[in-house]
Amino acid sequence: MDRNRITFFDTTLRDGEQAPGCAMGVYEKLRMARQLDELGVDVMEAGFPMASEGDFNAVRLIASEISRPVIAGLARASEPDIRRAWAALEAARHPRIHIFLASSDLHLQCKLKITREQALEQAHHAVAYARSFCNDVEFSPEDATRSDINFLCNLVQVAVDAGATTINIPDTVGYSIPEEFAAIIRTVREQVQGIEKTTISVHCHNDLGLAVANTLAALHAGARQVECTVNGIGERAGNASLEEIAMVLSVRQAQLPYQTGINSQRIYPTSCLLSEIIGFTPQPNKAIVGRNAFAHEAGIHQHGVIANPLCYEIMTPESVGVSGNNLVLGKHSGRHALGKRLAELGYKTSGPELDSVYQRFMRLAESKKKIYDQDLLSLVPMAAKEKAAATHATS
Ligand code: KIV
Ligand code: ZN
């Protein structure tokens, strides 16, 4: 195993999809999964099969269609959940069962109403049971960062002893701060025997805006898998944003000498596809993928960027798949410019199909001064999107 290779575990289709307004249908999840495959994620968590029929079907479809990355399905630490997860995953080339069980007294007492001893027994049994189906089993002690550290280590120990191959430390409620989170990872590494045979993962929520900072601190402390979502969507304030982690690792390579499999030029098209599916875009000032992330309005900045983009840009728009050309699309634009921009966004249209998109574009341009990429994507007919998804699948 290369110690400097970071595994990207994307959970847009599971934790991301759990967020208000982010629900996706089975077919939409498949489109997104194909895009995540192109983006180069190592693991994609396709859903929580026990949660609903739709989740089960989506995980099963993705497991049978997407063969390069690991496909994970979430399960509580119970036999019925694990059997359901396995039934959805078994067609996958690289399946993973992801089990979670709370480790904080708050969750054990108030939510699960079990003792610490019962939790230890349940975790051991669940991981061993999952291993009887699948060689790749991840265990997550939910609410790890508000848990008694000795009990957290005991719970992780039983999961390792029962055969867990990845240990994920979630900051479930986004409560931790970077130094503290790094210390938790170090303590787990020091106290749990056999942990070196597993991959340590982190899963940070963004309630205090620290999800990415906590994730990076954990890498310094020895974590080698990062759990994240496109556009940072997820429960409440969201999860650590995939594009932010990927670009920190790319732009600050000298300070963070890790390798990833992420194809950064697919970041923006992936962000746009997600926005189109869930029906809302990230906030304009969102790092990397917000519509202002590479915009310069102040004259003094524009002057600097024209003289040398490095004056105010630490990465090029092209490096994350944002078109570098300055073509502004509006009511004076022609078919050619529109077709070119759509192709950059992943939709090759021509002939009558382009004509009809162009007509809709002109109607929109009459009523809207600035036309953004998301506006353009909303003009592409479903048929063209299905064709693009099918082309990506076979290429
Ligand atoms: O936030 C969390 O604790 C989770 C677990 C299921 C990993 O999403
Ligand atoms: Zn989560």
Instruction: Delimit the domains of the chain by residue range.
Output: 7-278, 295-394
Mean of pLDDT over the chain = 93
pLDDT of 325: 53
Q: Identify the three-state secondary structure at position 203.
A: strand
How many angstroms separate the CA atoms of 302 and 310, rounded?
Answer: 12
Nearest to 382, CA basis, from 347, 350, 358: 347
Cα 205 off chain centre by:
12
Centre a 10 Å sphere on the Cβ of residue 99 and count the other Cβ atoms it contains: 26
- Answer whether residue 13 shows pLDDT above 60: yes
Please report which ligand is nearest the Cα atom of 145. 1
**Average pLDDT over every residue of 259-279:** 96
CA 257 / ligand 1 centre spacing (Å): 27
Options 3.20.20.70, 1.10.357.10, 3.40.630.30, 3.30.1360.10; CATH for 7-278 is 3.20.20.70
Cα–Cα nearest to 1, from 141, 199, 192, 181: 199
Contacts of 233 (CB under 8 A, 6+ apart): 12, 16, 19, 22, 239, 274, 278
pLDDT in the model for residue 393? 47
Cα–Cα dist 172/242, whole Å: 17
* Nearest CA-CA partner of 10 in 337, 242, 312: 242
Cβ contact 236:207 at 8 Å: yes
Q: What is the pTM of this model?
A: 0.88
* Ligand 1 pocket, residues with Cβ under 6 angstroms: 15, 100, 140, 142, 168, 170, 172, 203, 205
Query: What is the 1 CA–ligand 2 centroid distance (Å)?
Result: 26
Distance 85 CA to ligand 1 centre (A): 16
Q: How far apart are CA 96 and CA 166, in angstroms?
A: 10
Kindly report, residue by residue over 315-342, the tens digit of the pLDDT: 999 999 997 654 567 787 888 888 888 8
* pLDDT bucket at 389, cuts 50 / 70 / 90: low
Q: Which whole number is the average pLDDT over 236-264?
A: 98
**Interval 223-230 mean pLDDT:** 98
Q: Over pLDDT 70: what percentage of the chain?
A: 94
- Quick: pLDDT tens for 139-190: 999 999 999 999 999 999 999 999 999 999 999 999 999 999 999 999 999 9
How confident is the model over 200-214, as pLDDT tens digits?
999 999 999 999 999
Above pLDDT 90, what percent of the chain?
A: 77
Q: Is the pLDDT of residue 375 over 90?
A: no
Report which of 15, 45, 46 is spatially closest to residue 236, judged by C-alpha positions.
15
Half-sphere exposure of 354 (CA within 13 A, CB side): 15
Which residue blocks in the chain are alpha helix, DSSP H?
A: 26-39, 53-65, 79-89, 105-106, 116-131, 149-161, 178-191, 211-220, 242-251, 267-278, 299-307, 335-344, 351-367, 373-379, 382-394
Q: Mutation test of ligand 1: which of 18, 74, 100 has the most ligand atoms closer than 8 Å to its C-beta?
A: 100
- pLDDT tens sequence across 96-122: 999 999 999 999 999 999 999 999 999
